[in-house]
A = this chain, B = another copy of it.
């Protein structure tokens, strides 16, 4: 079952620089959840946009057939690390249809805050 769109945009992006948790699951993170429900691997190219410099990327990831990837922007390192404490946006371009959802866990304060939204599918 092939579901979704080839291009998705996430206008909101921000990786908090710190966090109160030692548990990796509770470290502040910014995530793009990418579902590939299809029968072919999806090669996804990610570009990051900033307020005051040229875009970074492309960052390349592959989501195998019938798999999901909960990609932490924190983990993007090539061609350059995704910056902390910096406003950004992201555009994901895939050679196969995927579904993208954006989630942030913020643990800077002695608690946890969450946000999530479907990304914007370009059609």
Contacts and interface: CB of A to CB of B under 8 A. Distances in A.
Which applies to chain A's interface (DSSP): helix, strand, loop or mixed? strand
Nearest to A97: B122
Interface in A47-92: 47, 49-52, 54-55, 66-70, 85, 87-89, 91
Interface residues of A, number: 59
Contacts of A105: 113
B26 A54 contact: no
Given A3-B122, A35-B89, A114-B113, A66 B55 contact: yes
Given A12-B101, A100-B11, A109 B111 contact: yes
A89 B7 CA distance: 19
A51 B63 CA distance: 9
16 contacts: A9-B37, A12-B31, A12-B103, A14-B70, A35-B91, A37-B91, A49-B67, A50-B67, A51-B67, A51-B69, A89-B99, A101-B120, A104-B116, A106-B114, A114-B114, A115-B115
